[in-house]
Structure 1
Amino acid sequence: MEISKPKQLCNQVIQAKMLTTNSYNTNTVTCPFCKRNGHILDKCFKITETPLQDRIKFAQAEKLCFGCLERGHRSKKCDKKSTCEKCQKRHPTCLHNDAFIERNRVIPAVSEKSPDDDEADAEEGDKPSVAISNRVTQATSSTLTSSILPVWVSSKNDPDREVLVYALLDSQSDTSFILDEVAQGLDTNKSKVNLRLSTMSTKSTVIPCDKLVNLQVRGYNDEKRITLPPVYTREFIPVNRSHIPTSETALKWPHLEKLADKLPPLLECEVGLLIGYNCQQALLPRKVLAGKENQPYAQLTDLGWSIVGCSSQSQNHNDVIGTSHRIIVCEVFPVSQPAVELKQQVHFECRTEVKEASPTDVIKALESDFSEHAIDDNPVSQEDILFMSKMTKGIKQKNDGHYELPLPFKTDNPNLPNNKQSAEHRLSSLERRLKRDEKYYKDYFKFMNDIITRGDAEKVPEHELNNKTAWYIPHHGVYHPHKPEKIRVVFDCSAHFQGTSLNDHLLTGPDLTNTLVGVLCRFRKGLVAIMCDVERMFHQFHVIKEHQDYLRFLSWDKGNLNSEPSVYRMKVHLFGAASSPGCCNFGLKHISSQGRNKFSKETVEFIQRGFYVDDGLTSVTSTAKAIQLVKESRELCKTGNLHLHKFVSNNKEVSSVENPADHASMGLNAAQLKESNWLKGPDFLWKKDLPIKKEKLKGQILNSVQVMHTPCIQNK
């Protein structure tokens, strides 16, 4: 499993700015949220109109005490805590959580909570999505918990800057790991290293990552800090959030009820740390609270209490996600040695035999640059398996012939924050450009009106505007450098709001795109070449109704910038969504597989292996086969409402099969071929003034052939 630069999954600190004013009136109070004078934060009406989680994140960003909303100390040491006007408990009214109060009513006789528990109460919220590895999907609910507990992680260089994460105490890992995005927020020493990682799914895989030192960790309600051994960054920690024990877990078992006040509720933070047995102090059990046979047990470590085992007395062990941990890590050092050591070691070797290369060995060496492996050497990840499972179960053909696929979320139907205000801000920037650039304005709304007319987007009905699950996508127009007259509106699915974006929650799936080398090599085999294109491929695959509200956007009706923007939503897979290439490639291959018994083998193979995304290239041995292939491929794609167009061939008879307006050039003879670019088809094979060397030297001939292929790589 190769580690790449991670996606932004964990909680990010919101950089809110504090407005200060100079005044001769020393009694003036400025609210840090609305920036107005005359009231304190707890009495601000603006902040009470925002969701609870937004208030909590604002207080965290401003480093405010959760007891009095002042700076300079924590709630545990606060001696002037506010009294809530709703529940009369010791916390500010604006941080009151009704859900937590209702839950506490069913808790029998618990001890008085510590001040930090109030802070934990306020921090409880919806579960964020997580990326999970080594998982097996089943059809039942989760009933297991593990040694996962909240901790504060910091650097010895800046101990006051702490990040709240969940830590997994893993006794089967000999190394400790940290989420890359958590590490980026810590002031610590980092170095680039390579690790040899062995897990249940891969063996001896070398991955690049960062090595961190001087990190420390403490329990959620403890001050004792534990120094961590060298920690390595990973893109995600393979843990299911439903395995996190809470106070509700303890209340389900009589022998664990007394721990209900010692376990915080589910906090809104990522599982960002995996502590292996190379940090034995963190894993050392100080106390163990056991029950009867086959009942869960609780253990106390220096980082707090955790519950291990079945969380329900129904004894249902068919967990939704089975996470298996067995990690062996070995740091891989460079093979090269210092020059001084090399000079000290001199080896002499005398060979009397030379292995002769057979003709087969020579051919293999020459073809190695153009080989296409049927099986990828890299193992398929668990996320790829989850993606394929969602696509296989979710793809359906609608009455109009189009196929619809779900958005492949990492977790089903994630609850995203309301980012409409952020989308409105981006829309105002777009409005300013539309007003000052008339050509941009006309092209933009021509594109938008086109997708609405075609049915790719629709206006959200009034009765659905307040749907709880919704995400607003900013959009902007871009011009192709070689097509300045044509605009394409791009939907920014990577736009972040409150530390998350739509792309953060989407599975990209395995790479289903055919290799460019394989497509080009097969394209050069036959005498009669054919090229074509799938018209608007991404927009031909629809999104299921349940997921369309994740694709909302704001726009003006009929281009009237003086009117209020209306709410629209896309009904198709978007340019800009991380999952769209995988979904559309899956859909195209699904259509071809459905035509196995109805069309020729050559036609099915062309749709499956002859396309690089939406551009199709192939070649056959005769004109008759080419004509048959063109007709059948169009008919096969029509079964899924895909339109193949822009057919181009070097044979006039094949070109005449299509409507003259639908192809870019007619056939070329040998003389014309020398003066042209051979085929004027899709953009990625197009390059003006292609230099053809007249010299017959081998190097110059190879250079000319290479230039033929170079545009494919440069422009794609």
Structure 2
Amino acid sequence: MVRLQRCLRGRALESVRSRLVFPAAVPQVIETLRMRYGRPELLINALLQKVRAMPAPRGDKLEALIEYGMVVQELCDHIEAANERAHLANPTLLQELVGKLPADQKLMWAGYKRGRAVVDFKTFSDYMTGVMQDASSVVLYESDPRKNTAREKSKVYVNSHKADETATKTTTQLKTSRCLHCEKEGHKLRECQAFRALSIDDRWRRVRALTLCQICLYGHGKRACRISSKCNVNGCQFKHHPLLHGKVTTPVTQLANINTHRPQDSGVLFRILPVTLYGKSGQVNTFAFLDEGSSLTLVEGGLVAQLGIAGDSQPLCLRWTGNTSRVEMNSKTVTITFSGLEPQRRYQLVNARTVQNLDLPMQSFDVERATKRFAHLRQLSIQSYHNARPAILIGLDNLKLAVPLKTREGDGSGPIAAKTRLGWCVYGRQGSQVNEGFSFHICGCNRDDELHEAVKQFFAVEESGVRQLGDCLSAEEQRAQEMLEKTTKRIGRHYETGLLWTEEEIELPDSYGMALQRHQCLQRRMDRNPALRENISRQIKEYVEKGYAHRATPAELENANPRKAWFLPLGAVTNPNKPGKVRLIWDAAAKASGVSLNSVLLKGPDQLTLLPAVLFRFRLYYIAVSADIEQMFHQLGIIQDDKNSLRFLWSDTTDGPVQIYLMDVATFGATCSPASAQYVKNVNAQEHIKQYPRAVEGILKSHYVDDYLDSFGTETQAVKVSAEVRLIHHNGGFHLRNWRSNSELGTRRTSGNRQQEP
């Protein structure tokens, strides 16, 4: 008992807390813990989640392949040890794990499995074992530096003898001054040149990999950081270290102002110069446009993709003169390494934004011709180029790269040569006349955009009342539709249908313990509130009398398919605004062993009429009529094979025996009930299309779930069609109630007594 009291934490402790005071209850405590946490499938599920959560290994990091292979091997070993071999043949799991491998490893896996009669998860585990062995033979696999740091820390603080004070101080200083990135002594992470040389994205990844605080760059675990300062780089108000500045933290549309003039001939030279961009996939030579009138650095997205540079998505609004605009929804924030004429000197463009196409001006420059005409351009390191179109625009956010360090000017109106950190560039007029050009701007949205969006949403709502929904169904919706057509049939004046299972063969875990625990909680609640017990007991009896539920017989329980047996926890919901009213619920979202009934049911095709369309038809004519279907879901029967999936527990008294009941009708909590009810309602209406076309149209187009809202031109038509609608629903087992109308005659005649119903 003492060992249990010391080791239990969290939910495990709460589940057995009441029994941890009696030593005689230890066997019951152990059994409860074994039931909730000791089953093999729970461990396998935890390992599955661990594999799924593990990041995809990169092809250039063999250590990641080794770690990935170890996790896969561990999962396979536990599946075999638990004798749960059915998991080994899971094709979805196998495809998911193979999908995480780099491209070259996928090709090797394809060759490995070729010719094998059986390819399952065990085959993949054997393949990853070979990959681990090969990678381990060529890689010096080192332990996590965080673990080394933890061991040093324990050595420092274990010995507190005064004689060891000097040694302790020395060890502490060494520990403090050791860099966690390069693992060298004498400097901290924030002073590490190797860390500073990384891109912003790589710095963030490294900090996360070492589980360091993004504010102070120290590993103080889950304790709150004592430093409350903000970044303050370029006015940044986020709480991260300045070395991490540049990471996009909010997916909002960025505001920027960019001005670029585009000539129609070569009379003007813009500040462009050749550059070389570097990425994971190699390097690319292009031209950069230096624009001091731009507040943002832009680069064409195709160039970034060619270099293999990744970044975070963030929308960008582009606007030109004449109020022409577009939105780059797929714009990314990237960091690019590049160089000018001297490849050994490399620089970084931080927070550059990608666009689909810059469409910057194309221009040419002939050095030989220019030096003959302008003497001040001679003896400069300038290159000629022809029809050069820049793919990158460097703005004020990277002004340091564009600022002129030296300039050379000639007489008159000739071009000017300026030396930047990227090399010499020539810009200005080449002749005496310049043709007119035009400019475009890239800027942030203003209030006009908000007005435009509001008007767009208004017309989108208006259009929803008249537009037609597409007939295209997804694979899951198509399967649900086929199941509805196959299992739905008329039984007398009612219909019955089956549950919409996600798979043909379903195997549900044992849910009795979960349902029993919820039943005991409900019993304690009813003990505190006798009126609640009386209300629920009365409703259960009414359910049995109406044929909505019945007590399961021993034959039904014995002959039921154990794979599809499921217990729904019974609950009660009260509304303070409706005193005395209690609604019974069957919680289909309750989980046992990580599985709920709703998780194995399909939602089904969306057959609801759009609410705006119903409301538009409702306001179309002068005479309005409304009603609703009484307990719509409970009028839909469930086929015999699926009733054992709708079990629930009930006993009239706290000490009485717990009885097993079966729901014979659709429940409010099941995710497939709305689609099944709508399908039955429409099928029943279609049977009367020839005899009552206007009433059928009202059922199909003026129904929103169980509410009927329609309008008519005359009272006579309202009374006639309403009676037909009530007749059609009556033939399908649905009862319309709560009739309302703005016409006294319509209200009186449509809400007549039940004996007048056909």
Task: Return the TM-score normalized by structure 1.
Answer: 0.50
Please say if residues 72 and 125 of structure 2, whose CA atoms lie closer than 8 Å, have aligned partners that are also in contact: no
Q: Give the CA deviation at 1:491.
A: 0.8
Partner of 1:600: 692
| Aligned-partner Cα distance in 2 for 1:538–1:267 | 35
Tell which structure's C-alpha radius of gyration is larger: 2
Partner of 1:55: 39
* Structure 2 CA distance for partners of 1:277 and 1:413, relative to 1, 3 Å: closer
| Aligned-partner Cα distance in 2 for 1:631–1:380 | 35
Determine if the alignment matches structure 1 residue 485 to structure 2 residue 580.
yes
Please say if residues 188 and 214 of structure 1, whose CA atoms lie closer than 8 Å, have aligned partners that are also in contact: no
| Aligned-partner Cα distance in 2 for 1:419–1:220 | 34
Q: 1:388 aligns with which of 445, 465, 481?
A: 481
Determine if the alignment matches structure 1 residue 562 to structure 2 residue 655.
yes
* Structure 2 CA distance for partners of 1:563 and 1:379, relative to 1, 3 Å: same
Q: Residues 166-315 of structure 1 correspond to what in structure 2 (within 5 A)?
A: 182-183=52-53, 216=64, 265-266=88-89, 270=93, 273=96, 275-276=98-99, 279-285=102-108, 288=111, 302-303=127-128
| Aligned-partner Cα distance in 1 for 2:582–2:524 | 18
* Structure 2 CA distance for partners of 1:463 and 1:658, relative to 1, 3 Å: same
Partner of 1:473: 568
Determine if the alignment matches structure 1 residue 339 to structure 2 residue 223.
no
* Structure 2 CA distance for partners of 1:291 and 1:276, relative to 1, 3 Å: closer
Partner of 2:731: 639
Q: 1:408 aligns with which of 479, 500, 519?
A: 500
**1:618-673 CA distance string (max 9 Å, x none):** 001011111111111111112211111221111122222145678xxxxxxxxxxx
Please say if residues 607 and 679 of structure 2, whose CA atoms lie closer than 8 Å, have aligned partners that are also in contact: yes
Q: Give the CA deviation at 1:349.
A: 3.9
| Aligned-partner Cα distance in 1 for 2:70–2:456 | 64
Give structure 2 stretches of 5+ with no counterpart.
8-18, 74-78, 132-249, 260-292, 296-318, 325-454
* Structure 2 CA distance for partners of 1:165 and 1:270, relative to 1, 3 Å: farther
| Aligned-partner Cα distance in 2 for 1:348–1:441 | 72
Please say if residues 219 and 303 of structure 1, whose CA atoms lie closer than 8 Å, have aligned partners that are also in contact: no
**1:152-196 CA distance string (max 9 Å, x none):** xxxxxxxxxx833799xxxxxxxxxxxxxx44xx6999xxxxxxx
Determine if the alignment matches structure 1 residue 586 to structure 2 residue 679.
yes
CA-based RMSD: 4.9
Give the aligned length: 422
Determine if the alignment matches structure 1 residue 420 to structure 2 residue 512.
yes
Partner of 1:573: 666
**1:277-330 CA distance string (max 9 Å, x none):** 981243131794788899999999853699xxxxxxxxxxxxxxxxxxxxxxxx
* Structure 2 CA distance for partners of 1:283 and 1:600, relative to 1, 3 Å: same
| Aligned-partner Cα distance in 1 for 2:572–2:100 | 52
SS in 1 for 2:627: strand
| Aligned-partner Cα distance in 2 for 1:385–1:275 | 28
**1:50-75 CA distance string (max 9 Å, x none):** 79x963146x3xxxxxxxxxxxxxxx
Partner of 1:70: none
Partner of 1:517: 612
Please say if residues 282 and 302 of structure 1, whose CA atoms lie closer than 8 Å, have aligned partners that are also in contact: no
**1:12-49 CA distance string (max 9 Å, x none):** xxxxx982569xxxxxxxxxxx99999x99xx995999
Q: Residues 453-468 of structure 1 correspond to what in structure 2 (within 5 A)?
A: 453-466=545-558, 467=560, 468=562
| Aligned-partner Cα distance in 2 for 1:350–1:443 | 66
Partner of 1:705: none
* Structure 2 CA distance for partners of 1:276 and 1:379, relative to 1, 3 Å: farther
* Structure 2 CA distance for partners of 1:554 and 1:621, relative to 1, 3 Å: same
| Aligned-partner Cα distance in 1 for 2:647–2:598 | 14
Q: Which has the higher helix share?
A: 2
| Aligned-partner Cα distance in 2 for 1:492–1:486 | 19
Partner of 1:19: 4
Q: Could you tell which deviates more after superposition, 430-439 or 295-304?
A: 295-304
* Structure 2 CA distance for partners of 1:54 and 1:503, relative to 1, 3 Å: farther
| Aligned-partner Cα distance in 2 for 1:215–1:479 | 57
SS in 2 for 1:452: helix
Q: Give the CA deviation at 1:269.
A: 9.3
Q: 2:534 aligns with which of 411, 420, 442?
A: 442
Q: Give the CA deviation at 1:474.
A: 0.6
Q: Give the CA deviation at 1:551.
A: 0.4
Please say if residues 409 and 507 of structure 1, whose CA atoms lie closer than 8 Å, have aligned partners that are also in contact: yes
SS in 2 for 1:164: helix
Identity of aligned residues (%): 23
| Aligned-partner Cα distance in 2 for 1:215–1:647 | 71
Task: Return the TM-score normalized by structure 2.
Answer: 0.48
Give structure 1 stretches of 5+ with no counterpart.
1-16, 23-33, 61-122, 129-161, 168-181, 190-212, 226-245, 248-261, 307-332, 352-362, 663-716
| Aligned-partner Cα distance in 2 for 1:547–1:618 | 36
Determine if the alignment matches structure 1 residue 545 to structure 2 residue 640.
yes
SS in 1 for 2:105: helix
| Aligned-partner Cα distance in 1 for 2:50–2:95 | 6
Please say if residues 56 and 101 of structure 2, whose CA atoms lie closer than 8 Å, have aligned partners that are also in contact: no
Please say if residues 603 and 675 of structure 2, whose CA atoms lie closer than 8 Å, have aligned partners that are also in contact: yes
Please say if residues 405 and 541 of structure 1, whose CA atoms lie closer than 8 Å, have aligned partners that are also in contact: yes
| Aligned-partner Cα distance in 2 for 1:295–1:412 | 23
* Structure 2 CA distance for partners of 1:402 and 1:223, relative to 1, 3 Å: closer
Which letter does structure 1 place at the counterpart of 2:714? S
SS in 2 for 1:412: coil
* Structure 2 CA distance for partners of 1:538 and 1:305, relative to 1, 3 Å: farther
| Aligned-partner Cα distance in 2 for 1:299–1:437 | 58
Please say if residues 288 and 300 of structure 1, whose CA atoms lie closer than 8 Å, have aligned partners that are also in contact: no
Please say if residues 285 and 299 of structure 1, whose CA atoms lie closer than 8 Å, have aligned partners that are also in contact: no
| Aligned-partner Cα distance in 2 for 1:305–1:392 | 50
* Structure 2 CA distance for partners of 1:505 and 1:295, relative to 1, 3 Å: closer
Q: Give the CA deviation at 1:506.
A: 0.5
Please say if residues 456 and 572 of structure 1, whose CA atoms lie closer than 8 Å, have aligned partners that are also in contact: yes
* Structure 2 CA distance for partners of 1:296 and 1:581, relative to 1, 3 Å: closer
| Aligned-partner Cα distance in 1 for 2:512–2:38 | 14
| Aligned-partner Cα distance in 1 for 2:502–2:86 | 27
Please say if residues 420 and 471 of structure 1, whose CA atoms lie closer than 8 Å, have aligned partners that are also in contact: yes
Question: Which protein, 1 or 2, shows the higher relative CO under an 8 Å CA cutoff with sep ≥ 6?
Answer: 1
Q: Give the CA deviation at 1:370.
A: 2.1
